């Protein structure tokens, strides 16, 4: 089936289908709901500006990941700002998931630890969580597959050390 990637309606439909990517990227990089919303808006703007260049040679989601992560990295370079610590107690539970206090605590510790990583390290963890291969991650970030492997291992070790410092052991 041939998809017309030139229409605004197609873009909006694709955004609706893949809006989870926006939420995941924003949650990984920003603490407060307001900052996450600002970042999502910035990503959407960049996606729309770049959309004319998307030809459908790759999956829309792959292209969206790349634009989103590049936008985040540029955003931090431009803004050079950090927000206040997010109050995790006010976070809403996912609607279709049974509440599990231990899982909730693990996620809280994980996201607090991730906030201490630099933007590239966050991108590596994000792509790892999304199940991208080292090759795909390298393509998305513009680095070699081998470099991804090394940086990802170092980032995982760094994340483990940060979590250990909090005194949390799962």
Annotate 91-107 with DSSP letters as a single string.
Answer: PPPPTTS---HHHHHHH
Residue closest to 142 by CA, chosen among 73, 80, 52: 73
> Which residue is associated with the tokens 């307001």?
34
Q: What is the pLDDT of residues 68-121, one digit of tens each?
A: 988 888 777 665 544 444 444 544 544 555 666 677 777 788 888 888 899 889
Instruction: Check residue 85 and give its pLDDT.
Output: 42
Top-confidence residue, 90 or 41: 41
């Amino acid at each position: 089936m041939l998809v017309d990637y030139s229409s605004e309606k197609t873009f909006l439909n694709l955004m609706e289908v893949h809006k989870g990517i926006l939420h995941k990227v924003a949650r990984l990089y920003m603490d407060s709901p307001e900052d996450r919303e600002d970042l999502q808006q910035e990503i959407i703007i960049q996606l729309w500006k770049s959309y004319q260049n998307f030809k459908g040679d790759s999956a829309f989601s792959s292209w969206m990941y790349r634009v989103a992560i590049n936008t985040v990295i540029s955003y931090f370079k431009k803004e050079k700002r950090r927000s206040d610590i997010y109050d995790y107690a006010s976070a809403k539970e996912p609607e279709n998931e049974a509440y599990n206090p231990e899982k909730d605590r693990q996620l809280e510790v994980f996201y607090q630890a991730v906030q201490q990583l630099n933007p590239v390290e966050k991108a590596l963890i994000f792509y790892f969580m999304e199940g991208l291969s080292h090759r795909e991650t390298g393509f998305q970030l513009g680095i070699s597959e081998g470099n991804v492997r090394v940086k990802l291992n170092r980032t995982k070790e760094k994340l483990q050390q940060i979590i250990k410092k909090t005194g949390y052991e799962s």
